[in-house]
Amino acid sequence: MSIGFCRVAIAGKSVKELDQLRYETRIVAGIDIGTTKCVAVVAEIDTNGAVRVLAQGRSIMRGVTRGQIVDVDQAVLSVKEAVDDLVRIYHDPLPRFLLTISGEQIYGKDTAGTQPISGQYVTEQDIKDAEILALGNLELEPDDRLIKSERVSFTYRNSENVDSVLGQKITKFKLRMHAAIGDVVTCDNLIKTIRRNNLYEAQILPQGWASAYAVLTEEERMNGALVLDIGADTTDICVMQNGAPRLTMSVPAGGNDITRQLAGYMHCSMQEAEKIKQRLDMRALPETEKVFINVVQTHTGQTASFTVYELSLIVARVYQSWVDGIFLKLLEAQWFRTKDDGAGRYWPENHRLPAGVVITGGGSLITQAAYLFQNQAGPFGYTFTTRCGSPLYRGEASIGLTSPKESAVMGLIFYAANELKNGRDVLAGTDSSRPTVSRRIKGFLKRFFIGEF
């Protein structure tokens, strides 16, 4: 009997039928609540990792400062507007939503757990038990809350940084994990905002993680890359290596800080400064000293002239302060080391981010923003090739979702697709549909009598 005939004869089904049995689809949804906007997306994903956007909705965000929800009532209204915009196109029941979370209270922490094996071979249950042990070893402050955790690597016998131990014949193994942590208030306000719209959350991802899944190729996620999502008021930072997050943090700096600096320098409105910001060049080219921009100053009503060069220098200096602070944290975390040769030149001793830097978010759209990251002086000079990243999605209904501004919300969808491709369903163990009538009534009564969830 030929091998081909054996394949066709398996369980009385053809190869095509077997492939169809393995092929599954899911409907997933994500909401990115930013400082200035709220974006909601519904998409279909399949077990091959493919994504097809079905609908999107957006609104102007209110009640958020520095990436954190500070006015739940206002935030609820903004999310409602985005979801209402979404359901004008998508009429089926909505699944539970994946959410992004941001703010300077978000940080990452490594943990580990050693699991003895009761049977002969390592099972998936053994790995899950190791996760419980590792997360149990995680030291949290009283006001901290675990947001999300991911497996990093395994160690057994003399083997370190192994991707998987499933099926191995060993007596014990060690699992290393990376966890994202936030404060209770930030997390609770996010969940309240969603649930008061009769929606429910499936999982929450740090915004830096979400953006990394949207803008990095699979090779970049494996080799080691730094992602900076530069938003309006925050910059969310994530290092990806071996396909998993390895560093998580957020700093209170964003595009609005540049706009405020320009508005203060020119004595003009924030709206005018925002428009001018898009005309500047991070390289501060000498030839732009003869290019002038006229601005009506708010305190006098008179017109003043500024060169593109001097305004570009202001923007570049603000960016430079961010770059120095971020790279210093990476240096302290030993993601790279440098050596001074005594002549003012620095050479790499250890470089763990060969895929370089990918900047995304609205703050990455300033002309030549990537320039500063790959043209550093001193100990940062040798290190990072840099590019501006946008969501890798180019399929149906992609209009408005290919800008760096939408990396976070599309990253939620890409994350769900990647998980399903690897046999993990982000909606597993949850009721993936809209809340039932009884749950809505229960939620209403709880809000009415208690005032919160």
pLDDT in tens, 251-281: 999 999 999 999 999 999 999 999 999 899 8
Q: 47-56, 214-223, 390-399: which has the minimum mean pLDDT?
A: 390-399
Q: 17-31, 40-54, 283-297: which has the minimum mean pLDDT?
A: 17-31
Nearest to 73 by CA among 197, 186, 185, 184: 197
Q: How confident is the model at residue 451 (pLDDT cuts 50, 70, 90)?
A: very low
Residues of the chain above pLDDT 70, percent: 85
Task: Specify which of 206-220, 317-331, 383-397, 415-429 reaches the highest per-range mean pLDDT.
Answer: 206-220
Whole-number pLDDT of residue 399 = 85
Q: 102-116, 385-399, 432-446: which has the minimum mean pLDDT?
A: 432-446
Whole-number pLDDT of residue 216 = 96
Q: 163-177, 374-388, 423-437: which has the minimum mean pLDDT?
A: 423-437
Whole-number pLDDT of residue 22 = 63
Contact (CB, 8 A) for 112 and 137: yes
Q: How confident is the model at residue 347 (pLDDT cuts 50, 70, 90)?
A: low
The mean per-residue pLDDT over the stretch 106-120 comes to 92
Q: How confident is the model at residue 74 (pLDDT cuts 50, 70, 90)?
A: very high
Q: Which residues contact 350 (CB under 8 A, 6 or more apart)?
A: 334, 336, 337
Q: In which residue are the tokens 């099926």 written? A: 167
Distance of CA 427 to the CA centre of its chain: 19
Whole-number pLDDT of residue 208 = 96
Counting beta carbons within 10 angstroms of the beta carbon of residue 80, is it exposed (0 to 12), middle (13 to 18) or buried (19 or more)? middle
Q: How confident is the model at residue 450 (pLDDT cuts 50, 70, 90)?
A: very low
Question: Chain-wide mean pLDDT for the chain?
Answer: 86
Counting beta carbons within 10 angstroms of the beta carbon of residue 46, is it exposed (0 to 12), middle (13 to 18) or buried (19 or more)? middle
Residue 376 predicted with pLDDT over 70: no
The mean per-residue pLDDT over the stretch 142-168 comes to 91
Domains by residue range for the chain, with CATH: 107-182 (3.30.1490.110), 255-388 (3.30.420.40)
Q: 72-81, 82-91, 193-202, 365-374: which has the minimum mean pLDDT?
A: 365-374
Nearest to 258 by CA among 211, 317, 324, 343: 317
Tell which phi-psi region holds residue 169, choosing left (phi > 0), alpha (psi between -120 and 50) or beta: beta
pTM equals 0.85
Nearest to 218 by CA among 402, 20, 392: 392
Q: How confident is the model at residue 368 (pLDDT cuts 50, 70, 90)?
A: confident
Taking only the tens place, the pLDDT of each residue in 278-294 is: 899 888 889 999 999 99
Q: What is the DSSP string of 93-160?
A: PP-PEEEEE-STT-EEEEEEEEEE-SSSS--HHHHHHHHHHHHHT----TTEEEEEEEEEEEEETTEE
Q: How confident is the model at residue 190 (pLDDT cuts 50, 70, 90)?
A: very high
> Can you read off the two tokens belonging to residue 111?
């943990």
What backbone phi and psi angles, to 5 degrees, belong to 207? -60, -35
Contact (CB, 8 A) for 388 and 183: no
